Amino acid sequence: MSHIDLIRAAAERLNGHAVRTPLMNSPFLDEIAGRRVYVKAECLQHTGSFKYRGGRSAVSALDPGTRAKGVLAFSSGNHAQGVARAAAEFDVPSVIIMPNDAPQLKIDNTRALGAEVILYDRPNGESREALGEQIQAERGMTLIKPYDEDQVIAGQGTCGLEIAEQARDLGITEADVLVCCGGGGFTSGIALALEAEAPDLRVRPCEPEGFEDVTRSLKSGHIETNNQQSGNICDAILTPAPGEITFPILNRLCGPGIVITEDEALRAMALIFQRLKLVAEPGGAAAVAAALFHANEIEGDAVICTISGGNVDAPMFARALEHANT
pLDDT digits (tens, 9 = 90+) for 279-319: 999 999 999 999 999 999 999 999 999 999 999 999 999 99
Is residue 253 within 8 Å of residue 196, measured between CB atoms? no
Query: What's the pLDDT at 124?
Result: 82
Task: Look over the chain and give the mean of its residue pLDDT values, rounded to a whole number.
Answer: 95
What Å distances lie between residue 117 and 51, 123, 159, 267, CA to CA? 17, 18, 28, 32
Rounded to two decimals, what is the model's pTM?
0.96
Question: Which regions of the chain carry the CATH code 3.40.50.1100?
Answer: 3-50+149-321, 52-143
Distance CA(106)–CA(104), nearest Å, equals 5
| Helices H / strands E in the chain, number of each | 14, 10
Interval 149-164 mean pLDDT: 98
Is residue 52 within 8 Å of residue 46, measured between CB atoms? yes
128 pLDDT band (50/70/90 cuts)? confident
Higher pLDDT, 125 or 153: 153
Q: Report the C-alpha dihedral over residues 265, 30, 293, 79, rounded to 10 degrees.
A: 30
Query: What's the pLDDT at 326?
Result: 63
pLDDT digits (tens, 9 = 90+) for 174-211: 999 999 999 999 999 999 999 999 999 999 999 999 99
Query: What's the pLDDT at 324?
Result: 79
Distance CA(308)–CA(30), nearest Å, equals 20
Mean pLDDT lowest for which of 106-110, 121-125, 136-140, 318-322? 121-125
Is residue 184 within 8 Å of residue 157, measured between CB atoms? no
Mention the CATH class of domain 3-50+149-321.
alpha beta
The answer on pLDDT for 230 being more than 90 is no
pLDDT digits (tens, 9 = 90+) for 19-52: 999 999 999 999 999 999 999 999 999 999 999 9
Mention the CATH class of domain 52-143.
alpha beta
Query: What's the pLDDT at 228?
Result: 86
